Amino acid sequence: MGESGVGKSMFLKRIADDDFSNDFSPTIGIDFKNLVVDLDDEDEDEDEDDSDGDGIKVQLWDLPGKEEYRTIATSYFDGTHGVLLVYDVTGRYSFDSIRNWIRLIDDKIGTHVSKILVGHKCDQVDNQVVSTEEGRRLAREFNIQFYECSSQANENLQAAVEGLVKSIQERREEERVVESEQVGPGFFQKIAIGWSSWRSSTSSMA
């Protein structure tokens, strides 16, 4: 999630299709991409076929950031397990708006959802107005991970998505422990919408 113009669509195209364009047009509708995240690839044989289903299937949604399309965006929040909070390091307003996006997430989705802070367009060093340390401080304030990324340079995009997936996994494991302790008379086992037996997760970049 994040303000219009921070590069969410560029991020999505680069991470999913390895495609990049500087042409900007604000997202009006809804777009999403499917990808498989393999968190254990460093331990696997390079020749091993990844088609065995061991990867985590992720659906990344690109939702409009403009205020007039906010109602459309929030209607797609159901089933969301994680959110990439994206700001433009060359735009102060987009950074200052992150707290508003976090409040929206907590209100519409819940405080349980995993969040990652992304400082986008970090390749534009000469135009950077939001320092790396400011991003780190904001991430520490909300106890979330922070990555500076560049779609143009294809830098840290994979790391940010993997960080989000790991955070979702850890949170779900904590929930399973709590739920297993509660299951019994008067309790019920919760099943998260959107996470099936083949381990899919839904993440937003509104």
For the cut 80, the answer to whether the pLDDT of residue 21 exceeds it is: no
Mean local confidence (pLDDT), 138-150? 98
DSSP H/E element including 57:
strand 56-62
In the chain the domains, ranked by start, together with CATH numbers, are 1-17+59-179+198-206 (3.40.50.300)
Q: Strands 82-88, 31-37: parallel, antiparallel or unpaired by DSSP?
A: unpaired
Give the tens place of pLDDT for each residue, 37-71: 888 754 444 444 444 556 889 889 887 666 666 66
Strand partners, 101: none
For residue 3, pLDDT over 80 is answered with yes
The tokens for 36 are 């498989």
Give the pLDDT score at 47: 46
pLDDT at residue 159, rounded to an integer: 96
More confident residue, 172 or 147: 147
Q: Which residue has better confidence, 72 or 133?
A: 133
pLDDT tens track for 102-143: 999 999 899 989 999 999 999 999 999 999 999 999 999 999
Instruction: Name the DSSP letter for residue 55.
Output: S
pLDDT, residue 125, reads: 96
Tell me: pLDDT of 181 over 90: no
Q: Could you tell me which residues are beta bridge partners of residue 115?
A: 83
At 195 the pLDDT is 32
The average confidence (pLDDT) of the chain is: 80
Residue 90: count other Cβ atoms within 10 Å of its Cβ.
20
pLDDT score recorded for residue 197: 29
- Among 35, 71, 69, 75, residue whose Cα is nearest residue 55: 35
